[in-house]
Amino acid sequence: MPNTDLYAVLEVGHDASPEELKRSYRRLARQFHPDANPGDPAAEARFKEVSQAYEILSDPERRANYDRFGADVGAGSPFGAGSVQDIFDMFFGGLGGRPQRRGPQPGPDAEVSVDITLDDAAFGASHDVSVTLPQRCSSCAGSGCAPGTSPVTCVECSGTGEVRRVRNSILGQMVTATPCSRCAGTGQRIDTPCPDCRGDGRVTATSTFTVQIPPGVEDGSTMRLADRGAAGARGGPSGRLFVHLRVRPDPRFERVGDDLHHEAHVSFAQAALGTTIEVPTLRATASVEVEPGSAFGTVHRIRHEGVAHLHGRGRGDLYVHLAVDVPIALDDTSADLLRQLAAHRGEEVRERAPRLFSRRGAKK
Ligand SMILES: [Zn+2]
Ligand SMILES: [Zn+2]
Protein backbone atom coordinates (compact mmCIF):
# COMPACT_ATOMS: atom_id res chain seq x y z
CA MET A 1 0.00 0.00 0.00
CA PRO A 2 1.90 3.06 -1.21
CA ASN A 3 2.02 6.25 0.76
CA THR A 4 -0.27 5.02 3.45
CA ASP A 5 1.95 6.23 6.25
CA LEU A 6 0.68 9.75 6.71
CA TYR A 7 3.45 10.47 9.16
CA ALA A 8 6.03 9.56 6.53
CA VAL A 9 4.21 11.81 4.06
CA LEU A 10 4.66 14.69 6.51
CA GLU A 11 8.20 13.56 7.35
CA VAL A 12 7.57 13.36 11.08
CA GLY A 13 7.62 10.59 13.65
CA HIS A 14 4.48 8.88 14.87
CA ASP A 15 4.71 10.70 18.18
CA ALA A 16 4.95 14.14 16.56
CA SER A 17 3.30 16.91 18.54
CA PRO A 18 0.68 19.10 16.87
CA GLU A 19 3.33 21.84 16.70
CA GLU A 20 5.80 19.59 14.93
CA LEU A 21 3.12 18.49 12.50
CA LYS A 22 2.25 22.06 11.70
CA ARG A 23 5.89 23.07 11.24
CA SER A 24 6.64 20.18 8.94
CA TYR A 25 3.44 20.73 7.01
CA ARG A 26 4.26 24.41 6.46
CA ARG A 27 7.74 23.60 5.27
CA LEU A 28 6.56 20.92 2.82
CA ALA A 29 3.59 22.95 1.62
CA ARG A 30 5.92 25.84 0.78
CA GLN A 31 8.29 23.50 -1.00
CA PHE A 32 5.67 21.83 -3.17
CA HIS A 33 3.19 24.65 -3.59
CA PRO A 34 1.95 24.83 -7.21
CA ASP A 35 2.94 28.52 -7.38
CA ALA A 36 6.53 27.52 -6.70
CA ASN A 37 6.39 24.61 -9.14
CA PRO A 38 4.37 25.74 -12.15
CA GLY A 39 3.51 22.96 -14.54
CA ASP A 40 5.01 20.25 -12.38
CA PRO A 41 2.40 17.55 -11.79
CA ALA A 42 4.69 15.63 -9.43
CA ALA A 43 5.02 18.60 -7.11
CA GLU A 44 1.31 19.26 -7.31
CA ALA A 45 0.53 15.66 -6.38
CA ARG A 46 2.94 15.86 -3.47
CA PHE A 47 1.39 19.13 -2.36
CA LYS A 48 -2.05 17.56 -2.32
CA GLU A 49 -0.77 14.52 -0.50
CA VAL A 50 0.91 16.63 2.16
CA SER A 51 -2.18 18.80 2.59
CA GLN A 52 -4.46 15.81 2.93
CA ALA A 53 -2.17 14.06 5.38
CA TYR A 54 -2.10 17.20 7.46
CA GLU A 55 -5.86 17.55 7.26
CA ILE A 56 -6.23 14.12 8.83
CA LEU A 57 -3.41 14.26 11.38
CA SER A 58 -4.21 17.78 12.57
CA ASP A 59 -7.68 16.65 13.62
CA PRO A 60 -7.24 14.82 16.95
CA GLU A 61 -10.20 12.56 16.33
CA ARG A 62 -9.18 11.59 12.82
CA ARG A 63 -5.60 11.15 13.94
CA ALA A 64 -6.72 8.80 16.71
CA ASN A 65 -8.78 6.86 14.19
CA TYR A 66 -5.87 6.66 11.84
CA ASP A 67 -3.53 5.50 14.59
CA ARG A 68 -5.95 2.87 15.75
CA PHE A 69 -6.81 1.66 12.31
CA GLY A 70 -3.18 1.43 11.31
CA ALA A 71 -2.70 -0.99 14.17
CA ASP A 72 -5.88 -2.86 13.45
CA VAL A 73 -5.17 -4.01 9.93
CA GLY A 74 -4.27 -7.66 10.00
CA ALA A 75 -5.55 -10.93 11.25
CA GLY A 76 -7.73 -9.36 13.91
CA SER A 77 -9.52 -7.13 11.46
CA PRO A 78 -13.28 -7.34 11.89
CA PHE A 79 -13.69 -7.20 8.13
CA GLY A 80 -13.44 -10.17 5.81
CA ALA A 81 -10.22 -10.98 4.05
CA GLY A 82 -9.81 -9.14 0.81
CA SER A 83 -11.82 -6.15 1.85
CA VAL A 84 -9.11 -4.55 3.92
CA GLN A 85 -7.82 -2.58 0.97
CA ASP A 86 -11.33 -1.39 0.22
CA ILE A 87 -11.85 -0.33 3.80
CA PHE A 88 -8.52 1.35 3.85
CA ASP A 89 -9.36 3.16 0.68
CA MET A 90 -12.59 4.33 2.20
CA PHE A 91 -10.81 5.80 5.17
CA PHE A 92 -8.47 7.67 2.92
CA GLY A 93 -10.82 8.16 0.03
CA GLY A 94 -9.59 11.68 -0.50
CA LEU A 95 -5.92 10.84 -0.55
CA GLY A 96 -4.47 11.24 -4.01
CA GLY A 97 -1.32 9.40 -3.03
CA ARG A 98 0.14 7.45 -5.89
CA PRO A 99 3.83 6.90 -6.28
CA GLN A 100 5.44 8.80 -9.09
CA ARG A 101 6.56 6.32 -11.65
CA ARG A 102 8.22 6.19 -14.98
CA GLY A 103 7.05 3.95 -17.73
CA PRO A 104 3.45 3.34 -18.67
CA GLN A 105 1.14 5.86 -17.08
CA PRO A 106 -1.81 4.72 -14.97
CA GLY A 107 -5.27 4.90 -16.46
CA PRO A 108 -7.80 7.48 -15.36
CA ASP A 109 -9.96 7.10 -12.28
CA ALA A 110 -13.59 6.22 -12.73
CA GLU A 111 -16.65 6.35 -10.55
CA VAL A 112 -19.90 4.53 -10.15
CA SER A 113 -22.89 4.92 -7.84
CA VAL A 114 -24.50 2.02 -6.04
CA ASP A 115 -27.91 2.13 -4.37
CA ILE A 116 -28.12 0.07 -1.21
CA THR A 117 -30.73 -0.51 1.45
CA LEU A 118 -30.49 0.58 5.06
CA ASP A 119 -30.11 -3.10 5.90
CA ASP A 120 -27.06 -3.34 3.60
CA ALA A 121 -25.59 -0.25 5.23
CA ALA A 122 -26.23 -1.60 8.71
CA PHE A 123 -24.98 -5.14 8.24
CA GLY A 124 -22.72 -4.90 5.21
CA ALA A 125 -23.40 -6.60 1.91
CA SER A 126 -21.88 -7.96 -1.27
CA HIS A 127 -22.93 -5.90 -4.24
CA ASP A 128 -22.33 -6.54 -7.92
CA VAL A 129 -21.01 -3.56 -9.81
CA SER A 130 -20.80 -3.27 -13.59
CA VAL A 131 -18.53 -0.77 -15.26
CA THR A 132 -17.77 -0.15 -18.91
CA LEU A 133 -14.21 1.09 -19.15
CA PRO A 134 -11.02 0.74 -21.16
CA GLN A 135 -9.52 -2.55 -20.05
CA ARG A 136 -6.27 -4.31 -20.81
CA CYS A 137 -6.32 -5.81 -24.29
CA SER A 138 -6.10 -9.56 -23.95
CA SER A 139 -4.70 -10.13 -27.46
CA CYS A 140 -1.46 -8.32 -26.69
CA ALA A 141 -1.59 -8.41 -22.88
CA GLY A 142 -1.57 -4.63 -22.91
CA SER A 143 1.71 -4.26 -24.79
CA GLY A 144 0.04 -2.81 -27.88
CA CYS A 145 2.29 -4.90 -30.13
CA ALA A 146 1.02 -7.33 -32.73
CA PRO A 147 1.70 -10.92 -31.72
CA GLY A 148 5.31 -11.88 -32.44
CA THR A 149 6.60 -8.31 -32.44
CA SER A 150 8.08 -6.17 -29.73
CA PRO A 151 8.47 -2.44 -29.22
CA VAL A 152 11.58 -0.41 -30.07
CA THR A 153 13.19 2.37 -28.03
CA CYS A 154 11.57 5.80 -28.32
CA VAL A 155 13.89 8.34 -29.91
CA GLU A 156 12.22 11.35 -28.31
CA CYS A 157 13.14 10.38 -24.75
CA SER A 158 15.84 7.82 -25.51
CA GLY A 159 13.78 5.23 -23.74
CA THR A 160 13.61 7.01 -20.39
CA GLY A 161 9.90 7.72 -20.73
CA GLU A 162 10.21 11.28 -19.51
CA VAL A 163 11.23 14.64 -20.88
CA ARG A 164 13.18 16.97 -18.60
CA ARG A 165 12.85 20.68 -18.86
CA VAL A 166 14.64 23.45 -17.02
CA ARG A 167 12.64 26.56 -16.25
CA ASN A 168 13.25 29.72 -14.33
CA SER A 169 10.88 30.66 -11.56
CA ILE A 170 10.82 33.09 -8.69
CA LEU A 171 12.56 30.49 -6.59
CA GLY A 172 15.37 29.91 -9.07
CA GLN A 173 15.94 27.22 -11.64
CA MET A 174 13.60 24.27 -11.45
CA VAL A 175 13.92 21.02 -13.32
CA THR A 176 10.65 19.39 -14.22
CA ALA A 177 10.19 15.95 -15.64
CA THR A 178 7.05 15.14 -17.56
CA PRO A 179 6.07 11.88 -19.22
CA CYS A 180 7.16 11.71 -22.85
CA SER A 181 4.13 12.41 -25.02
CA ARG A 182 5.53 10.56 -28.02
CA CYS A 183 5.56 7.19 -26.25
CA ALA A 184 3.07 7.97 -23.45
CA GLY A 185 5.87 7.57 -20.93
CA THR A 186 6.62 4.01 -21.88
CA GLY A 187 10.03 4.77 -23.38
CA GLN A 188 9.17 2.54 -26.31
CA ARG A 189 7.63 2.83 -29.75
CA ILE A 190 5.44 0.30 -31.44
CA ASP A 191 6.06 -0.38 -35.12
CA THR A 192 3.50 -3.11 -35.63
CA PRO A 193 0.44 -2.31 -33.52
CA CYS A 194 -1.85 -4.98 -32.17
CA PRO A 195 -4.86 -5.11 -34.53
CA ASP A 196 -7.38 -5.42 -31.69
CA CYS A 197 -6.41 -2.31 -29.74
CA ARG A 198 -4.48 -0.47 -32.50
CA GLY A 199 -1.43 -0.24 -30.30
CA ASP A 200 -3.18 1.32 -27.32
CA GLY A 201 -3.06 -1.83 -25.21
CA ARG A 202 -6.66 -1.31 -24.15
CA VAL A 203 -10.13 -2.12 -25.35
CA THR A 204 -13.37 -0.88 -23.89
CA ALA A 205 -15.37 -3.61 -22.23
CA THR A 206 -17.90 -4.15 -19.49
CA SER A 207 -16.83 -5.99 -16.41
CA THR A 208 -18.85 -7.03 -13.41
CA PHE A 209 -17.37 -7.73 -10.05
CA THR A 210 -18.45 -7.93 -6.46
CA VAL A 211 -17.86 -5.13 -4.00
CA GLN A 212 -17.81 -5.92 -0.30
CA ILE A 213 -19.66 -3.15 1.46
CA PRO A 214 -18.60 -3.08 5.11
CA PRO A 215 -21.21 -2.70 7.84
CA GLY A 216 -21.77 0.85 9.02
CA VAL A 217 -21.42 2.83 5.80
CA GLU A 218 -23.48 5.95 5.38
CA ASP A 219 -25.36 7.57 2.57
CA GLY A 220 -22.70 9.39 0.60
CA SER A 221 -19.81 7.14 1.71
CA THR A 222 -17.28 6.52 -1.02
CA MET A 223 -15.22 3.39 -1.37
CA ARG A 224 -12.03 3.68 -3.33
CA LEU A 225 -11.02 0.53 -5.12
CA ALA A 226 -7.45 0.47 -6.32
CA ASP A 227 -6.97 -0.97 -9.81
CA ARG A 228 -10.65 -1.04 -10.77
CA GLY A 229 -10.61 2.16 -12.82
CA ALA A 230 -9.67 2.41 -16.48
CA ALA A 231 -6.57 0.52 -17.60
CA GLY A 232 -3.54 2.58 -18.52
CA ALA A 233 -2.33 2.73 -22.11
CA ARG A 234 0.24 0.13 -23.17
CA GLY A 235 0.11 -1.97 -20.08
CA GLY A 236 -0.08 0.94 -17.63
CA PRO A 237 -1.75 0.13 -14.31
CA SER A 238 -5.43 0.77 -13.85
CA GLY A 239 -6.74 3.90 -12.22
CA ARG A 240 -8.95 3.85 -9.18
CA LEU A 241 -12.65 3.26 -9.08
CA PHE A 242 -14.67 5.38 -6.69
CA VAL A 243 -17.85 3.65 -5.61
CA HIS A 244 -20.35 6.13 -4.22
CA LEU A 245 -22.88 4.56 -1.92
CA ARG A 246 -26.42 5.87 -1.83
CA VAL A 247 -28.56 4.50 0.96
CA ARG A 248 -32.23 4.38 0.03
CA PRO A 249 -34.49 5.91 2.66
CA ASP A 250 -36.28 3.41 4.88
CA PRO A 251 -39.77 4.60 5.83
CA ARG A 252 -39.52 2.85 9.20
CA PHE A 253 -36.37 4.52 10.45
CA GLU A 254 -34.52 7.74 10.49
CA ARG A 255 -30.80 7.34 10.90
CA VAL A 256 -28.71 9.69 13.01
CA GLY A 257 -25.11 8.56 13.11
CA ASP A 258 -25.30 4.87 13.94
CA ASP A 259 -28.55 5.21 15.86
CA LEU A 260 -31.97 4.65 14.38
CA HIS A 261 -35.14 6.45 15.32
CA HIS A 262 -38.61 5.05 14.87
CA GLU A 263 -41.93 6.74 15.54
CA ALA A 264 -44.49 4.38 17.09
CA HIS A 265 -48.12 5.42 17.18
CA VAL A 266 -50.38 4.55 20.09
CA SER A 267 -53.89 5.68 20.75
CA PHE A 268 -54.86 8.17 23.37
CA ALA A 269 -56.37 5.35 25.48
CA GLN A 270 -53.26 3.18 25.11
CA ALA A 271 -51.02 6.03 26.18
CA ALA A 272 -53.26 6.75 29.15
CA LEU A 273 -53.73 3.16 30.29
CA GLY A 274 -50.48 1.56 29.15
CA THR A 275 -49.99 -1.25 26.65
CA THR A 276 -47.39 -3.39 24.92
CA ILE A 277 -46.57 -2.58 21.32
CA GLU A 278 -44.51 -4.30 18.65
CA VAL A 279 -42.01 -2.08 16.89
CA PRO A 280 -39.87 -2.95 13.87
CA THR A 281 -36.14 -3.49 14.23
CA LEU A 282 -33.92 -3.79 11.15
CA ARG A 283 -34.52 -7.50 10.71
CA ALA A 284 -37.21 -8.41 13.23
CA THR A 285 -39.50 -6.78 15.76
CA ALA A 286 -39.21 -5.89 19.42
CA SER A 287 -41.74 -5.34 22.21
CA VAL A 288 -41.96 -2.02 23.95
CA GLU A 289 -43.80 -1.57 27.23
CA VAL A 290 -45.80 1.65 27.12
CA GLU A 291 -46.28 2.74 30.72
CA PRO A 292 -49.67 4.14 31.80
CA GLY A 293 -49.67 7.88 31.37
CA SER A 294 -47.01 7.98 28.65
CA ALA A 295 -46.79 11.40 27.08
CA PHE A 296 -46.31 12.22 23.43
CA GLY A 297 -42.59 12.06 22.70
CA THR A 298 -41.72 9.49 25.36
CA VAL A 299 -38.57 7.74 24.19
CA HIS A 300 -37.67 4.08 24.64
CA ARG A 301 -34.16 2.98 23.85
CA ILE A 302 -33.50 -0.50 22.52
CA ARG A 303 -29.80 -1.14 22.77
CA HIS A 304 -27.70 -2.47 19.90
CA GLU A 305 -30.51 -2.47 17.34
CA GLY A 306 -28.99 0.34 15.32
CA VAL A 307 -26.36 0.39 12.60
CA ALA A 308 -22.93 -1.23 13.02
CA HIS A 309 -20.09 1.09 13.92
CA LEU A 310 -17.83 1.38 10.89
CA HIS A 311 -14.77 2.24 12.93
CA GLY A 312 -15.22 -0.26 15.72
CA ARG A 313 -17.22 -3.07 17.10
CA GLY A 314 -20.85 -3.08 18.15
CA ARG A 315 -23.90 -1.28 16.89
CA GLY A 316 -25.83 1.88 17.62
CA ASP A 317 -29.18 1.89 19.38
CA LEU A 318 -32.78 2.08 18.27
CA TYR A 319 -34.85 4.86 19.78
CA VAL A 320 -38.62 4.49 19.77
CA HIS A 321 -40.48 7.77 20.00
CA LEU A 322 -44.09 7.55 21.09
CA ALA A 323 -46.63 9.43 19.04
CA VAL A 324 -50.02 9.64 20.72
CA ASP A 325 -52.83 9.83 18.20
CA VAL A 326 -55.81 11.98 19.02
CA PRO A 327 -58.90 10.03 17.94
CA ILE A 328 -60.54 11.66 14.92
CA ALA A 329 -63.70 10.89 12.95
CA LEU A 330 -65.35 9.53 16.09
CA ASP A 331 -68.49 7.47 15.89
CA ASP A 332 -71.34 8.48 18.21
CA THR A 333 -70.54 5.85 20.86
CA SER A 334 -66.90 6.87 21.11
CA ALA A 335 -67.86 10.53 21.24
CA ASP A 336 -70.34 9.88 24.02
CA LEU A 337 -67.77 7.92 26.02
CA LEU A 338 -65.27 10.73 25.70
CA ARG A 339 -67.87 13.26 26.75
CA GLN A 340 -68.59 11.15 29.82
CA LEU A 341 -64.88 11.08 30.58
CA ALA A 342 -64.60 14.83 30.15
CA ALA A 343 -67.65 15.41 32.34
CA HIS A 344 -66.23 13.08 34.98
CA ARG A 345 -62.98 15.03 34.99
CA GLY A 346 -64.73 18.37 34.92
CA GLU A 347 -63.33 19.28 31.51
CA GLU A 348 -65.23 21.55 29.20
CA VAL A 349 -65.71 20.14 25.69
CA ARG A 350 -67.71 21.24 22.69
CA GLU A 351 -71.28 20.01 22.48
CA ARG A 352 -72.38 17.82 19.64
CA ALA A 353 -74.62 20.44 17.98
CA PRO A 354 -71.99 22.75 16.44
CA ARG A 355 -70.43 19.84 14.58
CA LEU A 356 -73.76 18.99 12.93
CA PHE A 357 -74.25 22.63 11.94
CA SER A 358 -70.85 22.83 10.42
CA ARG A 359 -71.50 19.66 8.46
CA ARG A 360 -74.72 21.01 7.08
CA GLY A 361 -72.90 24.22 6.26
CA ALA A 362 -70.28 22.37 4.31
CA LYS A 363 -72.92 20.87 2.01
CA LYS A 364 -73.96 24.20 0.57
ZN1 LIG B 1 -3.92 -5.29 -28.16
ZN1 LIG C 1 9.45 8.65 -25.44
pLDDT in tens, 148-197: 898 889 888 888 888 888 877 777 777 778 888 888 787 888 889 999 99
CA of 203 to the centre of ligand 1 (A): 8
Q: CA torsion angle for 203, 208, 213, 217 (degrees, to 10)?
A: 60
Q: Which ligand does the CA of 198 lie closest to? A: 1
Percent of the chain with pLDDT over 70: 85
CA of 104 to the centre of ligand 2 (A): 10
In this prediction, residues 72-94 reach a mean pLDDT of: 35
CA of 243 to the centre of ligand 1 (A): 28
Percent of the chain with pLDDT over 90: 49
Has residue 84 got a pLDDT over 60? no
CA of 182 to the centre of ligand 1 (A): 18
CA of 102 to the centre of ligand 2 (A): 11
Band of pLDDT at residue 75, cut at 50, 70 and 90:
very low
Q: What is the reported pLDDT for 102?
A: 56
CA of 108 to the centre of ligand 1 (A): 18
Band of pLDDT at residue 353, cut at 50, 70 and 90:
low
Q: Which ligand does the CA of 186 lie closest to? A: 2
CA of 1 to the centre of ligand 1 (A): 29
Q: What is the reported pLDDT for 173?
A: 76
Question: How does pLDDT run across 107-162, given as a tens digit for each residue?
Answer: 999 999 999 999 999 999 999 999 999 999 999 999 899 988 988 898 888 888 88
Task: For residue 151, count other CB atoms closer than 10 A to its CB.
Answer: 20
> Where is average pLDDT lowest: 49-58, 143-152, 213-222, 289-298?
49-58
CA of 178 to the centre of ligand 2 (A): 10
CA of 147 to the centre of ligand 2 (A): 22
Has residue 313 got a pLDDT over 80? yes
Q: Which ligand does the CA of 160 lie closest to? A: 2
**CA angle at residue 86 from 239 to 257, to 5 degrees?**
125
CA of 21 to the centre of ligand 1 (A): 48
Band of pLDDT at residue 238, cut at 50, 70 and 90:
very high
